[in-house]
Structure 1
Amino acid sequence: MLGHVKHSRQTFPKPRCCFVGFLFLLGVCLLYLPDPLTLEPLVSEENSGATLLIWTHPFGRYRKLPDCFALYQIGGCTLTDDGRAYPQADAVIIHHREVASGTADLPQEPRPRAQKWIWMNYESPAHTPRLWRFEDVFNLTMTYRTDSDIFLPYGYLRPREHRTNGLQNRFAHPLRAPSRLHLLRPRLLAWVISNWSESHARVALYYQLRRYIQVDVFGRAGRPLPEDSGGSVVRLVGRYQFYLALENSQHTDYITEKLWNAVRAGAIPVVLGPSRQNYERFLPPEAFIHVDDFPTVRGLARYLLMLRRNPARLRQHLDWRGSYSVHQPTFWAEHYCTACRAVRRNRGRTDVVEDLTRWFHS
């Protein structure tokens, strides 16, 4: 019988100053992050393994299931998408979109003794419908939020000196300190967008910003990515000094690949999403420009143009890069393996997630 216990959440202290606060919060994130780059010992006991059932492939797109040990040195994990394995599965990972839309049903109750159901979702609350249907259903949450039971964000920084090993080198993208050419990139500001909606705050921001500064728009809502970029957003953005990393909605910790693509490309991200304080959980304060830093959009445009003319000031937004690498988890292989490891570490836990809706919208 599953317990009926309040779901506990991690909280983060408010930084006392920007730089010290970032270093502390980065340490907290790295401490709680289920890091696939950390080696773990080989599994020696037969009963220490775990079977994870992938209930549906996210968004109906089939992907071959990964070998967790070969990719991430996470041993003892058996992944399957065969529903007949349900009675023997230690955990079932259920992607929200399919069960919320009705294209898939939840597994049949009663669930096997001690089996855990994992709620996995990487959309923002604004695009996560019918949460009320899943109160008191799941045992673990897996999202981009730092207070999830299984936390795996869209991207994160790693200090260069942090646990250097072959796996880190394999998955991390070292960031280069700015060179003279970096400070003199030929193009000013780009935006790649596919989901255009007149109701989005980012579209309203764009309409205002283009009155004062040139914005090159690419994607389904703009020009096609140039052929010489090879379809790579990172390669395209690497030609620009600034990039609009504008989220489709503003919610806690909802910071997607838009930001991390800009960081990898060496462009300074201009962000619209959660608060500056929230972004500083993941990045040094000078690593990005938040639209809320300016009372007007015109003031934001003037600041970007000023930086363009002032390489010394521009460098202040880029000098931090030489100390870090960036890691962007692979969808969905890394998520499954990270979830499997969490199941192995939480064998005795049978709490039920209460107030899922209130938590995710908080």
Structure 2
Amino acid sequence: MKEWFKKMSKDIWRSQGLRAIFSISSAIAFCYYIYLNHFVERSNLVEAAKEEEHMVLNSTNVTHTILWWNQPIWVVPYETKCSNCITSTNRSVFDKSSAVVFSLADGHMGSQPPIENNMRNQNQIWVAFSLETIVQNSWIKDYKNKHWKDVFNWTWNYRPSADIFMPYGRVSEKLKPLSKNYSMIFQRKNKFAAWAVSHCNAHSLRDKFVKNMNMRLQNHSIDIFGKCGPLKISKDKLPSLLSHDYKFYLAFENAFCDDYVTEKIFAHFNTDIINVVRGKANYTNIFPKGSFINTSDFRNTSDLVNYLVEVSENETLYSNYLIQKDKFQAWDDLKEQYKQSICNICRQLNDPYLERKTIYDAEEELGQCIKPNDV
């Protein structure tokens, strides 16, 4: 009897245990089913949202017009389309335009905006454009009027901090550095330095700086081409002449302004010549160290001239600059830079999370300019 009771107890315990396990398993399975179903539904929603966003960004039904309110003359032959964006100069499409670009350096903006701020389409972006500094823009009065404060949303200029960054050129590292006979290049050069300039008496006092350099050069001289010098040469022939005959080229800016680096150094970066730069920009942020000579690295003009003479007479020193420079490639195609800028505007206009800020003073965004203290 006792054995029978024990056996019955085990059977009951086993049956209840199996039932409990089954119940727990069923509960877990049910919870997992609910979770999985919710996860799948959520995943589907996420994918649907991504597909919807993709459709918005690639929709052929949406065309963004970028209106030039006062287009610079040099822009006329350039590209007018990018993706689903087109540029226009027809002011009659003002209300329907996604972005309106005002060229600060070209005038004809008017003493006040074409429409009062409270009457504007709040989804429309106003862009302040300028590839010139506040020094070159000093004669322009329109955009300095108080009515142009607090109306722009984006900036488009030569500064890296701009919403649309358009430099005068770009530099990138080559996949395979050039291999040259640098000794032959050094030996064939029979002239010291050249400077091509047509903007005389510039704000940067570069005319005076070059005059001081020439005064300190004894057995060498700086040849000056263009309207500000006695030598003349066509723009097409200048690069080959510099590359073959000259050891240095003076890439001096017309103004000392933040981040202001024009085409001068980019245009001659790919030639067999060492660029000597002078300006307010941080050149090492743009060009590889050891590929150029910066006048600001010297205490005075005498120290600069002495170093240039030393490099010009030392094949190893001179060749090292060219070797370092030849590891990189420069582009100074303004047409291509413009095209990239239009496409950047288009990309931002298509962004569902488009950033629309308000800029108090467009002139401040161009940075500060100073009078140089090296002459």
TM-score bracket, normalised by the shorter chain, equals 0.7 to 0.9
CA distance 1:224–1:347, shift in 2 (3 Å): farther
- More divergent stretch after superposition (348-357 vs 212-221): 348-357
Q: Percent identity?
A: 23
Preserved contact between residue 247 and residue 274 of structure 2 (Cα < 8 Å): yes
Give distance in 2, aligned partners of 1:266 and 1:237: 8
Residue 299 in 1 paired to residue 303 in 2? yes
After superposition, the Cα gap between the structure-2 partners of 1:183 and 1:47, relative to the gap in structure 1 and judged at 3 Å, is farther
- 2-structure distance, mates of 1:261, 1:155: 8
* Equivalent-residue separation in structure 2 for 1:177 and 1:135 (angstroms): 54
**1:125 is aligned to 2:128:** no
| Pick aligned residue for 2:104 from 96, 103, 116 | 96
Contact 1:251 1:273 in 2 (8 A): yes
Instruction: Please give the alpha-carbon distance, in whole angstroms, between the structure 2 residues aligned to 1:274 and 1:197.
Output: 18
1:345/1:328 Cα in 2 relative to 1: closer, same or farther (>3 Å)? farther
Q: What is the CA–CA distance in structure 1 between the aligned matches of 2:86 and 2:178, rounded to whole Å?
A: 35
Give the superposition deviation at 1:247.
0.6
Aligned 8 A contact 2:267 2:331 in 1:
no
CA contact (8 A) 1:177 1:322 kept: no
Q: Is the 8 A contact 1:247 1:273 kept in 2?
A: yes
Once the 2 structures are TM-superposed, how far is the Cα of residue 215 of structure 1 from its aligned partner?
0.7
| Change over 3 Å in CA distance of 1:177–1:335 after alignment to 2 | farther
The 1:232–1:65 alpha-carbon spacing in structure 2 relative to 1, beyond 3 Å, is: same
- 1:134-175 per-residue CA deviation (whole Å, 9 max, x = no partner) reads 32121100111111111121112112249xxxxxxxxxxx97
> Which residue number corresponds to residue 22 of structure 1?
none
Which letter does structure 1 place at the counterpart of 2:184?
L
2 CA distance for matches of 1:176 and 1:122? 36
In the alignment, residue 224 of structure 2 is paired with which amino acid? V
Compared CA separation, residues 61 and 360, structure 1 to 2 (3 A): closer
- Report matched runs for 1:167-316 at 5 Å: 179-184=182-187, 185-197=189-201, 200-211=204-215, 212=217, 213-223=220-230, 225-226=232-233, 231-239=236-244, 240-274=246-280, 278-316=282-320
Specify the code of the residue in structure 2 equivalent to 1:145. Answer: R
CA gap 1:113/1:355 in 2 versus in 1, 3 angstroms = closer
* TM-score normalised by length of structure 2: 0.71
Larger relative contact order (CA 8 Å, sep ≥ 6): 1
1:142 corresponds, among 140, 143, 156, to: 156
**Larger Rg computed on CA atoms:** 2
**Cα offsets for 1:74-93 (capped at 9, x unmatched):** 42221212111211111011
- Identify the residue that residue 33 of structure 1 maps to in structure 2: none
Partner amino acid, structure 2, of 1:64: P
Larger helix percent: 2
1:311-362 alpha-carbon deviations (Å, 9 max, x no partner) = 1011221212333221224244444344333333376332111243334334
Q: 1:154 aligns with which of 139, 162, 168?
A: 168
1:189–1:243 contact (8 Å) kept in structure 2 = yes
Residue of structure 2 in register with 1:353 after alignment: 359
Aligned-residue CA RMSD (Å): 2.9
Aligned to 1:55: 69
Change (3 A) 1:236 1:343: farther
Distance change (3 Å), C-alpha of 1:233 and 1:96: farther
CA contact (8 A) 1:264 1:326 kept: yes
Contact 1:259/1:269 (<8 A) preserved: yes
Give the number of equivalent residue pairs: 300
Aligned mates of 1:280, 1:89 — CA distance in 2: 39
Distance 1:192 1:346, change over 3 A: farther
Closer/same/farther in 2, CA of residues 54 and 199 from structure 1, 3 Å limit? closer
C-alpha contact (below 8 Å) 2:213/2:302 kept by paired residues: yes
Q: Secondary structure at the match of 2:290?
A: helix
Structure 2 unpaired stretches of 5+ = 1-54, 369-375
